Structure 1
Amino acid sequence: MIWFLFAVLGAFFDATYFMLVKKMLKEVDQYVLATGTFFFGFAILFTISWFKGFPTLGDAFFYSVFSTTLLNVIAVVLSYRALKITDLSLTVPMIAFTPAFLILTSFIMLGEFPSPQGIFGIMLIVAGSYVLNSTIDQQNLLDPLRAIFRDRGSLYMLIVAFLFSISSNFDKMVVLNSDIFFGTSIVCLLISVMFLVITLFKRSGNIKITYTNYLPGFILIGMVIALIAVSVNVALSMQIVPYVISVKRLNALFSVAFGIFIFKEKNVRRKGFGAAMMTLGAIIIISF
């Protein structure tokens, strides 16, 4: 049960992260934002690890770190591209399928497999998350799925969901081969460096001034990234990946609350139905 509480905390902080990013993207280049926020995520986690004491590294540490870093960078670039060329209402629902993919990828990579009841709970969370994220423009619920065959943006985001289902397993391997702080701090550093390279290549404005002007925002989001990492890593150390990431997808529930109260979004009725499905799925997962 403790793992569930940490996974829910991870979901809350994850929703907070996306809410803050959504607000900052109105003023800051996406790659500059990623560079700054992940750097401070690294700084916070590395500092904690420094005072706590660096862990003994397992044989698969470097392989896992570089693998999850590369997959996450590719996923972020693809998701930015998808959001640029396709409506949000057709792309965001695709992320809901990550827990479904995890049933297969976690079994192949880690030998982890949910119970039949657990699979049912996961699929309820996937369906509920899909419904929640499909309400942005009041389109038909099947529109995002149909768009996969005719729209590159939707296909890109489905690929992103699959990439996350692989990187999540590497994330657990990072934790198992280090601890809940150090390994993820190195991942954050590498992600920050890779986005810095992309930023320099793009030469988007005066980078030094941008980093200085938005430093408080970068630090705040970096703190949230650190909180996400610690919460989810604790859960991953206690439970199989498909369950943890499925519960983390409850971030959609918190995102709905942020959307209603902060961004004044509507479509509450259908979102309520999706939220109920996700809640039921989470109850089933922790009940068996």
Structure 2
Amino acid sequence: MLFILIITGAVALAGHVILNARYVRAGAAGGWSSTFVLGVSKVSAALLMLAVWLVLLFQGRATFPTSWAFWGAFLVTVVLNIIFEIIRFRSYALAPIALTSPFGAISPVLTILPAWLFLRELPSFWGGLGIGLITVSIYALHTQSGWNIRNFFAPFRAVWKDRGTRYAFLSSLPPAITIVFDKKAVVASDPITFSLLAVAAIGITAWIVDFAYRGRERFFSSVRQCGWGRFLKIGFLYLVANLAFNMAFLFAIVPYVSALRRTVIIFEVLFAYFFLQEKTDIVKRAAVSIGVVLGTILIGLAR
């Protein structure tokens, strides 16, 4: 069940990322800001989640959380995710997905310490080996052609030269912490309730930031022009991805979920190749996929 949830979430989230990148780049010419696109994307997803939540609430399968355990974890993850998402969406307009996504591969390694500190969860030897293999494989996908040390560290050198890459690197750090509090909030409530409240809070806050920064007239002009139909589509993709990943917490410890979630990067690169015309090395992609599969098998054996 865990791997079905991960693959479903990865495919849906990759589609969500690619469509958001497309709208951010189109918005640069049409008068939308990246923060506005973030807001409408999350609010669209929250509206769909609200419909699902109300059905589950009527059936007695969802409740409104009242515990301090939930709200404490919720506050931490929402505040950090707002910062993370605003920076990440800005990177979409400044650099290709192939340059911005490799840094997401480092999150699983960074997650190990917070997961131990706050949840007392540690991977086994084989699980840790699987996490490392997935991390290195996905990171290698984005290095320059030629397997040598200089090319391997090329993305980090780009951090100091390219603003979009710098934003992508900064946005890769908060998820290493937020995923721990995501699980604490899910355990204290349920996946759909946490998803609804967190996504709505991020979307509304992004709109408030955009309204304050660009002013009332430009903000409402963007609202009229954005076309809600297209954003409901990406909202649906985020609904699927968010629920799948949050449900995965019920089947595995946080470091494993964090590593397995990085499989989304393979689908991001694949979709960017077909839909955004971003070129990539097919041989390298095949080699990376093998590494990710082997890492996934090791995590599966460790569970």
TM-score by length of 1: 0.89
Write out aligned runs for 1:46-85 (5 A).
Answer: 46-53=50-57, 54-55=62-63, 57=65, 58-80=67-89
Contact 2:191 2:247 in 1 (8 A): yes
Q: Is it true that 1:208 corresponds to 2:223 in the alignment? A: no
> Counterpart in 2 of 1:6?
5
* Aligned residue number for residue 30 of structure 2: none
- Give the counterpart of 2:244 among 206, 219, 231: 231
Contact 1:60 1:173 (C-alpha < 8 Å) held by counterparts: yes
Alignment partner of 1:266 out of 265, 280, 294: 280
Match status 1:16 vs 2:24 = no
In the other structure, the counterpart of 2:208 is 197
CA distance, structure 2, for counterparts of residue 257 and residue 82 of structure 1: 19
- Please identify runs of 4+ aligned residues in structure 1 that moved more than 4 A: 80-91, 147-156
Contact 1:59 1:177 in 2 (8 A): no
Cα gap change, 1:263/1:196 in structure 2, threshold over 3 Å: closer, same or farther? closer
Q: 1:106 aligns with which of 112, 115, 130?
A: 115
Deviation of 1:45 after TM superposition, in Å, equals 1.4
Q: How does 1:106-145 map to 2 (within 5 A)?
A: 106-135=115-144, 140-145=151-156
Aligned CA RMSD, in angstroms, stands at 2.5
1:243 is matched with which residue?
256
Distance 2:90 2:22 in 1: 19
- Note if contact 2:34-2:93 (Cα within 8 Å) is conserved in structure 1: no
| In structure 1, distance between residues paired with 2:242 and 2:92 | 25
**TM value normalised by structure 2:** 0.85
- Residue by residue, what CA displacement relative to the aligned partner does 1:202-238 show, whole Å, maximum 9, x if unpaired? 2276333422332112211111111111101111122
Q: Give the number of aligned pairs.
A: 286
Distance in 2, Cα, partners of 1:228 & 1:112: 24
2:36 maps to 1:32? yes
How far residue 282 of structure 1 moved from its aligned partner, in angstroms, is 0.9
Return the letter of the residue paired with 2:206.
F
- Structure 1 unmatched ranges of 5 or more: none
Asked if structure 2 preserves the Cα contact closer than 8 Å seen for 1:39 and 1:189, the reply is yes
Q: Give the gaps of 5 or more residues in structure 2.
A: 28-32
Is it true that 1:186 corresponds to 2:197 in the alignment? yes
Q: Distance in 2 between matches of 1:26 and 1:156?
A: 16
> Match for 1:212: what amino acid?
R
What code does the residue aligned with 1:208 have?
Answer: F
Query: Aligned-pair distance for 1:111?
Result: 0.8
Distance 1:45 1:82, change over 3 A: closer
Deviation of 1:182 after TM superposition, in Å, equals 1.1
